[in-house]
Amino acid sequence: MSRKVRLLSGNEVVAEAAIAAGCRFYAGYPITPSSEVAAVMAKELPGVGGRFIQMEDEIASMGAIIGASLAGVKSITATSGPGFSLKQEHIGFACITEIPCVIVNVMRGGPSTGLPTAPSQSDVMQAMWGTHGDHPVIALCPSYLREIFTETVRSFNLSEKYRTPVILLLDEITGHMNGRVEFPDIEELEIIDRKKPTVPPDQYYPYDTSFGDVPPLANFFDEGYRYHVTGLNHDKTGFPTINPELIQADEERMLRKISDNLDDIIKYEEMNLDDADIALVAYGSTARSARAAMDEARAKGIKVGLFRPITLWPFPEKGLLKVAEKVHTIIVPEMNLGQMILEVERIVKERAILKGIHQVDSRPISPERILKKIEEVTK
């Protein structure tokens, strides 16, 4: 069977993949460098029976996709740094109410308006810690166009499977790079939909943990089910509670549904690490430069490997720990002043020497700069 091949940007791929995953609702507000996601969704969603709406701001956009998801429709929004900041309170609401949705953040320079058209990886820590309170977080960060497609689909799958918002992190480079994309056949895609209740409406509770850490989710007001939704701590009925034991157990369960399924959620790539003396830890577009630098270093006889997290949160701790026990030096290049390197440092401890490359001057980190750092640590 011949596959569909198109020339697209990363942002356009996100939109095409979202529709392939079954997304039928988009709410958002235009913001550079993510606006192409909205443009494609506005054009394509009506043709598949979906709906697009431009909201008055990012706060309303997040509220709209939460509401659409409660109505049983897979939903997505896209933004960049300042808009991502505005979405945080509603992201926290989606976490505590356990409502599936996907938030695309095409990162740009900051803080504030910063560098709207320049690349950055400045929202890594915000993806993890942006909303207050203890909450489950899944954040994915693809590096290549085909991977943007598959990770967008996986974002929806994880969101539906674990009843949680999922953050898809691109940056200006991955969002705007254009290339040939070979789409997989729809029949090849694994599409996961939320688990529906098997009990009649009068016996249904939206947070009934007798069904496991991820309770079934009925489409709100659609299939005869009625239930309460609140941002307050709640019991199994969805109504508020101040019972300390129930609150403690429920908060722990929300984290556990992620922490007990790391093998299903975490994904990373390893290259040339079997004999490596030096490891590069890089993600997003910077991983592309790191890969080129690795190849150049190898050509010079320097044994360098690459560890590329695709799931940033939860961080692939076990995989990195194995790398740290093999190599003498780990280099972390990233387009910020030190965000992911803090997580690497926590895991590596004294097992390897840790070096960072931090660049926020509106330019991507070049392979030459990474190669220079590799040569420095070999002297």
pLDDT of residue 188: 86
Residue ranges of the domains in the chain?
Answer: 5-188, 201-263, 269-378
Long-range contacts of 370-373 (CB under 8 A, 24+ apart): 370/280, 370/289, 370/290, 370/293, 370/331, 370/333, 371/293, 371/296, 371/297, 373/331, 373/333
3-class SS of residue 161 = helix
Instruction: Give 42: exposed, middle or buried? Use CB within 10 Å, 0-12, 13-18, 19+.
Output: middle
Tell the residue number behind the tokens 């270093």, with chain if given: 297
The CATH number given to 5-188 is 3.40.50.970
Task: Please list the residues that pair with 54 across neighbouring strands.
Answer: 28
The amino acid occupying position 76 is I
Nearest to 290 by CA among 360, 353, 363, 373: 373
Query: How open is the CA angle 273-277-279, to the nearest 5 degrees?
Result: 55
Each residue's pLDDT, cut to its tens digit, for the chain (379 residues) gives 446 889 999 999 999 999 999 999 999 999 999 999 999 999 999 999 999 999 999 999 999 999 999 999 999 999 999 999 999 999 999 999 999 999 999 999 999 999 999 999 999 999 999 999 999 999 999 999 999 999 999 999 999 999 999 999 999 999 999 999 988 888 889 999 999 999 999 999 999 999 999 999 998 777 889 999 999 999 999 999 999 999 999 999 999 999 999 999 999 999 999 999 999 999 999 999 999 999 999 999 999 999 999 999 999 999 999 999 999 999 999 999 999 999 999 999 999 999 999 999 999 999 999 999 999 999 8
Tokens of 55: 């909201």
What pLDDT does 58 receive? 97
Give the pLDDT confidence score for residue 124 in this predicted structure: 97
Query: Which ranges of 71-223 does DSSP label H, i.e. alpha helix?
Result: 81-86, 88-97, 124-129, 145-162, 172-176
The pTM assigned to this predicted structure is: 0.96
Best CATH choice for the domain 269-378 from the list 3.40.50.920, 2.40.37.10, 3.30.9.10, 2.40.30.10: 3.40.50.920
> Cβ–Cβ contacts within 10 Å for residue 346, how many?
10
Burial of 133 (0-12, 13-18, 19+ CB in 10 A): exposed
Estimate to the nearest angstrom the gap between the alpha carbon of 164 and the chain centroid: 12
Q: What is the DSSP letter of 52?
A: E
Rounded Cα distance between 31 and 85, Å, is 13
Calculate the alpha carbon distances from 102 to 34, 99, 137, 246 in Å: 14, 10, 12, 28
Give the integer Cα–Cα distance in Å for 358 and 361: 10
Q: Fold match between 5-188 and 269-378?
A: yes
State residue 3's pLDDT score: 66
